[in-house]
Amino acid sequence: MGLMGALAKPILFGMDAEKAHGLTIKLLKSMPLPACGPDDSALGVDAFGLHFPNPVGMAAGFDKNADVPDALLRLGFGFTEIGTVTPLPQPGNPQPRLFRLVQDEAVINRFGFNSEGHRAVRARLMERKQRAGIVGVNIGANKEATDRTADYVAGIKAFSDLATYFTVNISSPNTPGLRDLQQTAALDDLLARVLEARDEAGHKRPVLLKIAPDLAPSDLDDVVDVARKRGVDGMIVSNTTVSRPDSLRDKVTAMETGGLSGGPLFPLSTRMLALAYQRVENQFPLVGVGGIDSAKSAYDKISAGATLIQLYSSLVFKGPGLVTEIKKGLLARLKAENLKSIAELTGRDVKKWAGN
């Protein structure tokens, strides 16, 4: 895949970013990828009542409609997350809506939950129901929904027998008003109804909450407090940011509206992760997302409090070989420190990353 990725990159970068993404999905669907060998047991992670063969996951947004979950697992990911999936099909925002900041190894998107809807995605997941591998389902609400919480409940009901875990995505910046669900009263009602639906479905799948990196510390206090009281199984920190760091070199593309991801997101998302880790107090695990592009940044994310990590944007620039590179680098770190498990690294540098 390393050679193929190197050959494909110039072709993909010569195309519109969204068309290149669509072509990548088609290639993954048609290529007979051999499965990676088993991971070293030291990389294994137990979280949310699940065993992950390694901590490196594909973040939501790449495989929105469950086209290639098994292909991604064969690339060496320990888990993958499909979606965001909305109850009804919707086209999302007008194109163009995906932009590369090549100098910054960053991406801006304003997709707006483009989705084929529950029915189409469920049909695809049914086709792989008996296959192994951890596949999470990231659920969202339709733009025109009058009761957005009901849309999340519908997502739980639609995939309760197929999802390995759920992610409740209330932090995308591209659906107007969605982030308002992070406010205390709205979040409490949302989690109460979602968890009730999960319990009634009988499968008791883990439910994770995905938050924005742009929360003020006081707002983070409230979010974590509600999440702990309601008993979520974990949190994903974080989604894309609406901020634009001064470090960005591509000032023109940076003016596009939407969520920024990739390397420039790393400091903000990692500080938010560390702050969340301090507030969660080991009540549930955290998944660290945002700017991971090397074994070092993966280690830093784990040391800031992540039990598991996810990546996406860095693959645009570094290719699928990055997954293996990160796993090898983490194993080398464990060996150098004579540690037996990746779990021993979680949270060791949290004070540094939290900034106190």
C-alpha to C-alpha distance for 65 and 80, rounded to whole angstroms: 12
- For the four alpha carbons of 129, 133, 134 and 139, in that order, the dihedral sign comes to negative
C-alpha to C-alpha distance for 290 and 280, rounded to whole angstroms: 19
Residue 283, CA distances (Å) to 88, 123, 191, 207, 270 in order: 34, 35, 16, 14, 19
Where in the sequence numbering do the catalytic residues fall?
Answer: 172
Which DSSP helix (H) or strand (E) runs through 266?
helix 266-280
Write down the residue that tokens 């008791």 correspond to.
Answer: 204
C-alpha to C-alpha distance for 306 and 347, rounded to whole angstroms: 7
Exposure pattern of 254-267 as b/e (b: 16+ CB <10 Å)? Answer: bebebbbbbbbbbe
Cβ neighbours of residue 166 closer than 8 Å, sequence gap 6 or more: 136, 137, 138, 139, 155, 156, 159, 194, 198, 205, 206, 207, 208
Instruction: Give the CA radius of gyration of the chain.
Output: 19
Write down the residue that tokens 């993404």 correspond to.
Answer: 21
